[in-house]
Amino acid sequence: MSQILSWIIAVLLLAGTGFGAVWPSFGQTAQQSAIGGADGSDLVTYPALSLPERDAVDAWRRWVDQGVAGRNSTGEERSDEYIDGLRQKAMAADTEFERELFTRAARDQFMRFTLPPTLADKRLKLQELGHTLSDEQLVRVQEVMHREAFSMDIENAAWLERAFDANGREWWPISEIGEDASFHLWLLVQHADHDPAFQRKVLAKMEPMIETDEVDKGSYAYLYDRVMSGAGQAQRYGTQLECRDGRYQPKLLEDEEGLEALRASVGLGPIADYLGMPRFDPAHCDAPASPD
């Protein structure tokens, strides 16, 4: 589990979404997106985009859908192998719950691996898809791209909370569902920043399971920091970062002097190694907030 966690964290985008609204699910047209649904999409509104902007958004959506289906590459072999593995797990799943989990995880990860991090990167991607936009148009389309990811997180969390309630509001032990399913359940919770109360409920259920190895300690650590930082409180393990003085640094820490020991206690490497990941290059400090 620790190898899976370490690699995925290395390629995820930065912590914190910063998105202010909910946006439509993939496959919806601009006109259809005003139609609500039980998954939270009733909160969706769509801006008054011009026709070229809507066409660019729809082209990007189609490209993502094709990628989730295995017809487009993330541009990185290891990412492609990982997402293909999720598709295979979904097809081989013994239960509808696992099939749905791995299907949702595949979309989550393809989206996060391929959402261009900067405005310039988004311009290049849209040009590849046959759409050249002005700077003003590109800014509006970028906002839609980010909010598409936020909408996905809301839908995933709504599905997971229903499953959580159906399970008697208990978290799933590794011995019952396996490490892969356990990890990807955690991943969807980690991305549910719009619902901190749900994240906190899950965290409380996971905590007593650590000592029996029924949840991954590293996963618990990331969620603990996410919940604390999201509430404006001190984090424990230094996983949540912010741009400060031109580089990424941990947000408020509970025990700065004891940080390395705390990280080691849950299987996380030195903080210097974490901050040295390519995703945390100081050059990205100028990029807009992206979903991780």
Per-residue pLDDT of the chain (292 residues; tens, 9 = 90+): 444 555 555 445 333 333 333 333 333 333 232 223 334 444 445 567 899 999 999 999 999 999 999 998 888 888 889 999 999 999 999 999 999 999 999 999 999 888 888 899 999 999 999 999 999 999 999 988 888 888 999 999 999 999 999 989 899 999 999 999 999 999 999 999 999 999 999 999 999 999 999 999 999 999 999 999 999 999 999 999 999 988 999 999 999 999 999 999 999 999 999 999 887 888 877 654 444 5
Rounded Cα–Cα distance for residues 71 and 64 (Å)? 9
pLDDT of residue 79: 87
pLDDT recorded at residue 6: 52
Give pLDDT, residue 291.
44
The pLDDT value recorded for residue 27 is 33
Question: Which region, left, alpha or beta, applies to residue 77 given φ > 0 means left and ψ of -120 to 50 means alpha?
Answer: alpha
Q: Are 101 and 184 in contact (CB under 8 A)?
A: yes
Give the gyration radius of the chain's Cα atoms: 19
Query: Helices 135-166 and 119-128 sit at what angle, rounded to 10 degrees?
Result: 90
Name the percent of the chain in helix, strand, coil, to the closest 5: 60, 5, 35
Hey, what's the torsion of the CAs at 186, 188, 192, 198, to 10 degrees? -50
C-alpha span between 169 and 290 (Å, rounded):
30
Question: What does the pLDDT read at residue 134?
Answer: 96
| Per-residue pLDDT at 42 | 42
The pLDDT assigned to 272 comes to: 96
Total count of residues recorded for the chain = 292
Tokens of 6: 């370490």
Q: State the pLDDT at residue 85.
A: 95
